[in-house]
Structure 1
């Protein structure tokens, strides 16, 4: 259907009116051709599938080989999206590196067979200061030099002396700022073999670690040189060394009646001397 515009002031039969329909038809034809070209250009070309590639004309040179190459490329699985199934052969992964063996812990070295501490000796200042004097000697082995009066105050020493090994243990730990010292007691009239062995082990452990031992003894004994030492009312003295694996001890005695200040005796004798009392080690 066409529509012809007829202006009122123009003659419909004039030559100009005949030209307009022809020009309009040419314009419509041009637009139609342009749209067809654009639609044709935007339509993607069909891609041949693997089946069509295998049926390509092999009579043309190189056509068969090119088709087979494209088929292999298209048919090869993507390893990222298609992992091999269980049981399929694959390149083995590198073996895990074995963990390094743990280093066994080292044991503590054995204590020496003999050891003597460096200490500073002083006689007790009065007849009831044996506890403060012996405790102070032990502290000098730790490079501490309080006065005997200061130590007596910590021990709560009176004219009746120092009460027990619990006081020397408490004071030694307070001065050294440790909990190293423990109180040991021998409750019978004489030491048992187990108590002798324990004292020997305690002396070796303490002195090997730089700590002197303070013992509260009572009664009489004889040292290794035959010297007699008697304290029937009780006394405090300091163990500052050992030898023979701990079976012999060196005593620093702040009231030594022989006037020497030290002597040695067996650990067994010292244990019996400490019966009914105790020591700090």
Structure 2
């Protein structure tokens, strides 16, 4: 089955399985006025977060545009999800890959993002460490990470999140990057949750991320 078609079909099922709402308002989370880049903040040693504006995806297939918008809001960019969807080539079949996310991020923040793929089904120790390093470097620079995930993962509170194809944004780390905070555009009720970086790496496995 065509991968993009499979993602579209499974995304609907995944959102229904998790009961995740797919529409919601923009919500400020450590945000500055539009057009002004929010300042990153260090809470304590080994912890860092970016300022950003949360916005839920308005339908089941806009997770790519919504996650990209969350990332760009940390740069002080106020871009609509519709504009980003057009640039990403997003359709009801979804957004093709992390490579598209990186390309569009670099249109608004030139040269700051690269794509890293985790091509195996399970992330190796080296890939986990690379993700940890990339999250730390990106968040320290005030630039969230956009990740393309597949399947299920359990957060730090023991809550399972299941998506058969989804994009989300990493906006904070603690414990020197061993634990990361996710802004999830498909879950406006929770908006954010912490996750072990190894769990996130395995969630990304077979896909990639933009950092």
Q: TM-score, normalised by structure 2?
A: 0.78
How far is 1:146 from its partner? 0.6
How far is 1:249 from its partner? 0.4
How far is 1:164 from its partner? 0.3
User: How many pairs does the alignment contain?
Assistant: 167
Q: What is residue 135 of structure 1 aligned with on the other side?
A: 68
Alignment of 1:262 onto 2:192:
yes
How far is 1:228 from its partner? 1.2
Alignment of 1:235 onto 2:129:
no
Unpaired stretches in structure 1, ≥5 consecutive residues: 1-111
Match of 1:181 among 113, 119, 122: 113
Q: What is residue 183 of structure 2 aligned with on the other side?
A: 252
Alignment of 1:280 onto 2:210:
yes
Q: Deviations over 1:65-99 (max 9, x none)?
A: xxxxxxxxxxxxxxxxxxxxxxxxxxxxxxxxxxx
Q: Which has the higher contact order (CA 8 A, sep 6+)?
A: 2
Q: Deviations over 1:29-52 (max 9, x none)?
A: xxxxxxxxxxxxxxxxxxxxxxxx
SS at match of 1:196: helix
How far is 1:145 from its partner? 1.1
Q: Deviations over 1:253-276 (max 9, x none)?
A: 00128x211100011000000010
Q: What is residue 91 of structure 2 aligned with on the other side?
A: 158
SS at match of 2:198: helix
Q: Could you list the runs of 4 or more consecutive aligned residues of structure 1 that deviate by over 2 angstroms after TM superposition?
A: none
Contact 1:229–1:256 (8 Å) recurs in 2: no
Distance 2:112 2:53 in 1: 21
Root mean square deviation of aligned Cα: 0.9
Q: TM-score, normalised by structure 1?
A: 0.58
Distance 1:158 1:270 in 2: 26
Unpaired stretches in structure 2, ≥5 consecutive residues: 1-44
Match of 1:126 among 28, 37, 59: 59
Distance 1:169 1:154 in 2: 11
How far is 1:154 from its partner? 1.0
Q: Deviations over 1:144-181 (max 9, x none)?
A: 111100010111111100000100000001011x2111
Greater Rg over alpha carbons, structure: 1
